[in-house]
Amino acid sequence: MAKVINGVSIPNLPWEDKPQGCTDTVWRYSKNPIITRNDAFEANSVFNSAVVPFGDGFRGVFRIDSYDMLPMLRTGKSRDGIKWEISDDNLEWTDRNPDIGYEYGYDPRVIKHEDGKYYICWCNGVPGGHTIGLGYTEDFEKFYQLESPFLVYNRNGVLFPRKINGKYAMLSLPTNPGSGGGLGSIWYSESPDLEYWGHHRDVMHPTSLGWQNNKIGPGPAPIETDEGWLLIYHGVMGSCAGLVYSMGAAILDIDEPWKVKYRTKKFLLKPWEPYECMGDVHTVVFPCASLVDADTGRIAIYYGCADTSVGLAFTTVDDIIKYTKENSL
């Protein structure tokens, strides 16, 4: 059995057993979507959001497209990881340096790092484009924005939950604005202090054919296992009807995460359900967060549905690693 390394026990992890007769590695929660626009004040949509265990419950940072259709971040809390109380107010940065820039924010990832802080990465709107924003909190009450790790254009940043070879480490998706954000690959970068980033390494490219032939981007924080770093990611395919976002997985080397050991040839989850196929942006499954119970290996995956709502799906560390190794490119 695959073992979770440096994991935490989450006895109240949201969970639903695999339906009888289901042969899929990842399966949907039967009451999806769990968060819709009706769960937040003046929200056109709530999607592509991140959650973490906190205290005896959970906290989250949510993407809210409000009535002006400007994407912003808000916080939320939950006792069970399914029913959420989302703040009416946008997230505010304490003592923010205005020179860094923060015009809007979307698609957050949140991790608890081994240094004890909760770090938020998001796509940060700045004059002239978008890049990755980086900040932290210790209590989900006060939030502090740090320097932007990269120049424009970049998105889908996510930190590793611990230092690698003594450095903070991040995955991201540099994009090409001339292609409408396509032609993107996953890259690795590291920093001694969360301010100066370098040692950039190319991790994975889109494939020439199939469900991930347009661009790929990192999803939730990588999960440390005895097989390597388990990375859940999204892949995008061009079709006659537009882009289709699906979910896949990869296993990265534990000491050199820019080296891919295995990567799914087949998708794990693709837009099939009405709430994934119809919305502000059709045919989107976009994973942003995962909760992992180290005791059982159970994983709850939070994903955006058609840029409109939040869905929940389930798997186990054993199942997803087995599938990834047996169906690798």
Q: How far is the C-alpha of 5 from the C-alpha of 225, rounded, in Å? A: 5
CB 99 within 8 A of CB 146: no
Helix, strand, coil percent content, the chain, rounded in steps of 5: 5, 50, 45
Q: Give mean pLDDT, residues 15-23.
A: 97
Q: Which two tokens stand for residue 56?
A: 């005896």
CB 140 within 8 A of CB 155: no
At 133, the pLDDT band (50, 70, 90 cuts) reads very high
C-alpha distance from residue 321 to each of 46, 74, 204, 285 (Å): 30, 33, 18, 20
pLDDT above 70: percentage of residues in the chain: 98
Q: How far is the C-alpha of 200 from the C-alpha of 187, rounded, in Å? A: 7
Q: How far is the C-alpha of 27 from the C-alpha of 93, rounded, in Å? A: 37
Give the pLDDT of residue 183: 62
Query: Could you read off the pLDDT of 70-101 as tens digits, one per residue?
Result: 999 999 999 999 999 999 999 999 999 999 99
Q: Which residue in this structure is represented by tokens 């940072």?
A: 61
Please determine, for residue 180, whether its predicted confidence score (pLDDT) is greater than 90: no
The pTM (predicted TM-score) of the whole model is: 0.98
Q: Give mean pLDDT, residues 160-168.
A: 98
Q: What CATH architecture does domain 27-326 belong to?
A: 5 Propeller (2.115)
Please determine, for residue 179, whether its predicted confidence score (pLDDT) is greater than 70: no
Smallest CA-to-CA distance from 305 within 322, 325, 287 is with 287
Give the pLDDT of residue 182: 53
Query: Could you read off the pLDDT of 302-327 as tens digits, one per residue?
Result: 999 999 999 999 999 999 999 999 99
Give the pLDDT of residue 176: 73
Higher-pLDDT residue of 180, 48: 48
Q: How far is the C-alpha of 300 from the C-alpha of 305, rounded, in Å? A: 15
Give the pLDDT of residue 228: 98
Give the pLDDT of residue 128: 85
**Residue spans of beta strands (DSSP E) within 160-241:** 168-174, 186-191, 198-204, 215-218, 223-225, 228-239
Give the contacts of 55 (CB within 8 A, at least 6 positions apart).
Answer: none
DSSP-derived secondary structure letter, 167 = B
Of the listed ranges 8-22, 90-104, 164-178, the least confidently predicted one is 164-178
- Cα angle vertex 214, ends 211, 216, to 5°? 80
Q: Which residue in this structure is represented by tokens 């080296």?
A: 259
| H or E stretch covering 323 | helix 317-326
Q: Which two tokens stand for residue 189?
A: 């970068």
Q: How far is the C-alpha of 284 from the C-alpha of 221, rounded, in Å? A: 20
- Please state, rounded to an integer, the average pLDDT across all residues of the chain: 96
**Residue spans of beta strands (DSSP E) within 138-197:** 143-145, 154-159, 168-174, 186-191
Query: Could you read off the pLDDT of 262-287 as tens digits, one per residue?
Result: 999 999 999 999 999 999 999 999 99
Q: How far is the C-alpha of 66 from the C-alpha of 37, rounded, in Å? A: 9
